[in-house]
Amino acid sequence: ETGVTQTPRHLVMGMTNKKSLKCEQHLGHNAMYWYKQSAKKPLELMFVYNFKEQTENNSVPSRFSPECPNSSHLFLHLHTLQPEDSALYLCASSQEAGGPDEQFFGPGTRLTVL
């Protein structure tokens, strides 16, 4: 595997379900990010982890809970979501947060909340 991978690619869940999104980067980067991309809206930064420490929480509701066990893996735990949370969730990584290096994005998880 190379680059940034995300699983699952598609997820349909009910509002009472609990699920997790997984992201893995094989680039040796130290920073990882979660973004939300809704139709017709700008890409929204959700969380930033730099060297496994959360450095940014962009006022995200507590029904989204990130976890970064090491620099290569990032999870987004989901519980009691709302239909308006349906979106494409993108993971990205970079050498470190705040540097000149670009972010490399994964293919995303298309989430539908019923």
Partner 1 sequence: GQNIDQPTEMTATEGAIVQINCTYQTSGFNGLFWYQQHAGEAPTFLSYNVLDGLEEKGRFSSFLSRSKGYSYLLLKELQMKDSASYLCAVRDGDYKLSFGAGTTVTVRA
Please state the closest distance from residue 30 (CB atom) to partner 1, in A.
12
Please state the closest distance from residue 1 (CB atom) to partner 1, in A.
15
> Element (H or E) spanning 25, and its range?
strand 18-25
**Under the criterion CB under 8 A, does residue 50 sit at the interface with partner 1?**
yes
Task: Please name every residue paired with 48 in a beta bridge, in sequence order, or none if there are none.
Answer: 33, 56
Contacts of 112 (CB under 8 A, 6+ apart): 10, 11, 12, 13, 86
**Under the criterion CB under 8 A, does residue 104 sit at the interface with partner 1?**
yes
Q: What is the CA radius of gyration of the chain?
A: 13
Closest to partner 1 by CB, 55 or 82 = 55
**Under the criterion CB under 8 A, does residue 58 sit at the interface with partner 1?**
yes
Phi, psi angle pair for 83, to nearest 5°: -55, -30
Please state the closest distance from residue 26 (CB atom) to partner 1, in A.
15
**Under the criterion CB under 8 A, does residue 53 sit at the interface with partner 1?**
no
Interacting residue ranges for partner 1, rule: CB under 8 A: 33, 40-45, 48, 50, 55-56, 58, 90, 97-98, 100, 102-108
